Amino acid sequence: MFRSKRSVVWIGILLMAIVLAVTACGGQDQLAVYKLEPNDTDTVQVTEEEFETFKSVKEANDPYYEQRKSMDTKFEEDMLKQYIALKIFESRLSEEERDKLKQEANDAFTSMTKELETTNPDWESQWNEMLDQVDLTEDEYKEYMLLQSMAIDQIAASVSEADLKAHYEETIAADPNAYVSEVTVSHILIGTNEDRTQDEALELAESVKQKLDNGEDFAALAASYSDDPGSKDQGGTMKNANVNNFVAPFRKAVLELPLNKISDPVETTYGYHLIKVEEREVPTYEDVIETVKGQMVEQRFVAFMEQELPDHIVEMDLPA
């Protein structure tokens, strides 16, 4: 068993919140009724005010919130169900466990703010501005983030070491590069622009690929042809690059291409890339254990939402 670490999570939460601005509205209308346990006779209500607060905090921490909302017709319903699920998990903790988690979260928050003071002198005014825009106090914001931490901690405590290792091994068996995060990769980008059509870019990329196949120097060709200003003067090389920052086709090629083999032209929104992966180390289980924990917590939360939550919900009445 283990307790999940929250300091990194809280840092990400605050940094994201500083960047984003959201709006919130209030109200006391009842939106849902649920039971903390399926056989309970007592019920709990969700008011519009608390749900709007929950959504505001979620929006502040998710840069894709509006995109998801616009693309999913059941977005509000799913968010309300998620909130109810979190409140159910919260109810299952003892008062002592809640106090302990609250203290840990406050300690992590204090540590994080001290770190931010050294890296962003203006962070406090930006933070307070964000809170004003969402019409939240700092305590209210932390309360709703703590709600998620309580659920994460409770689910994580149910995951055994054997569960984690089995999940890691299954994932690696399906995709040996599933946990690769950093690579050293060289590429030559033949971009499209006002003076070069897509067909012309592909033709030039194929011509440069032929030069590489004939033994010409990759770095020299990158300096001559690449349209990537960030790497062309370094021989096209990006050292210890995070693959999760790459656009999808480039990331896929970087993870699948045999080491030191030059790819055929790979198309992205930037143009065509000739790619050579020089280093790609598969992390050990110990290296990615926190990632594996996060995956398992997410899986079990989704399973609860799908399999158990319906038995808790008495009614939902969201506005059209």
Read off the pLDDT band of 57 (50, 70, 90).
Answer: confident
Dihedral (CA of 319, 34, 315, 72) sign = positive
Pairing of β 237-242 and β 44-47: unpaired
The arithmetic mean of pLDDT across residues 24-34, rounded, is 69
Q: For residue range 31-44, what is the model confidence (pLDDT) as tens digits? A: 999 999 999 999 99
Read off the pLDDT band of 9 (50, 70, 90).
Answer: very low
The arithmetic mean of pLDDT across residues 254-267, rounded, is 95
Are 216 and 236 contained in the same domain? yes
Range of the domain at 161: 7-170+288-316
Are 219 and 159 contained in the same domain? no
Q: Is 116 part of any domain?
A: yes
Other Cβ atoms less than 10 A from the Cβ of 164: the count is: 17
pLDDT at 318: 87
Cα–Cα distance, 33 to 35 (Å, whole number): 7
Read off the pLDDT band of 120 (50, 70, 90).
Answer: confident
Q: Is 175 part of any domain?
A: no
CATH number at residue 271: 3.10.50.40
Dihedral (CA of 311, 312, 315, 317) sign = negative
Are 202 and 240 contained in the same domain? yes
pLDDT > 50? residue 22? no
Contact call for residues 314 and 217 (beta carbons, < 8 A):
no
Are 43 and 120 contained in the same domain? yes
pLDDT at 304: 96
Instruction: Work out the angle at residue 242's Cα, subtended by the Cα atoms of residues 173 and 275, and round it to the nearest 5 degrees.
Output: 85
Are 129 and 39 contained in the same domain? yes
Are 233 and 297 contained in the same domain? no
pLDDT at 10: 42
Helices then strands, each counted (H, E), the chain: 12, 7
Q: Is 120 part of any domain?
A: yes
Half-sphere exposure of residue 57, counting CA atoms within 13 Å on the CB side? 22
pLDDT > 70? residue 46? yes
Look at the chain and report how many structural domains it folds into: 2
CA nearest to 21, candidates 55, 76, 59, 75: 59
Are 73 and 207 contained in the same domain? no
Contact call for residues 86 and 151 (beta carbons, < 8 A):
yes
Dihedral (CA of 175, 176, 182, 184) sign = negative
Are 26 and 148 contained in the same domain? yes
DSSP of 205-242, one letter per residue?
HHHHHHHHHTT--HHHHHHHH---TTTGGGTTEEEEEE
Q: For residue range 239-257, what is the model confidence (pLDDT) as tens digits? A: 999 998 899 999 999 999 9
pLDDT > 60? residue 19? no
**% of the chain beyond a pLDDT of 70:** 91
pLDDT at 191: 94
Average pLDDT score over the chain: 87
Are 225 and 121 contained in the same domain? no
Read off the pLDDT band of 2 (50, 70, 90).
Answer: very low
Q: Is 139 part of any domain?
A: yes
The distance from CA 249 to its chain's CA centroid, rounded to whole angstroms, is 19
Q: Is 1 part of any domain?
A: no
Cα–Cα distance, 129 to 141 (Å, whole number): 13
Q: Is 176 part of any domain?
A: no
Are 89 and 37 contained in the same domain? yes
Are 218 and 251 contained in the same domain? yes
pLDDT at 76: 92
pLDDT at 258: 94
pLDDT > 90? residue 24? no
Instruction: Work out the angle at residue 7's Cα, subtended by the Cα atoms of residues 57 and 103, and round it to the nearest 5 degrees.
Output: 80
Cα–Cα distance, 124 to 113 (Å, whole number): 9
Read off the pLDDT band of 1 (50, 70, 90).
Answer: very low
Other Cβ atoms less than 10 A from the Cβ of 63: the count is: 11
CA nearest to 9, candidates 271, 290, 222, 255: 290
Half-sphere exposure of residue 201, counting CA atoms within 13 Å on the CB side? 23
Are 219 and 91 contained in the same domain? no
pTM as predicted:
0.70
DSSP state of 178: T
Worst-scoring range by mean pLDDT, 141-150, 196-205, 255-264? 141-150
Q: Is 266 part of any domain?
A: yes
Q: Is 133 part of any domain?
A: yes
pLDDT at 28: 54
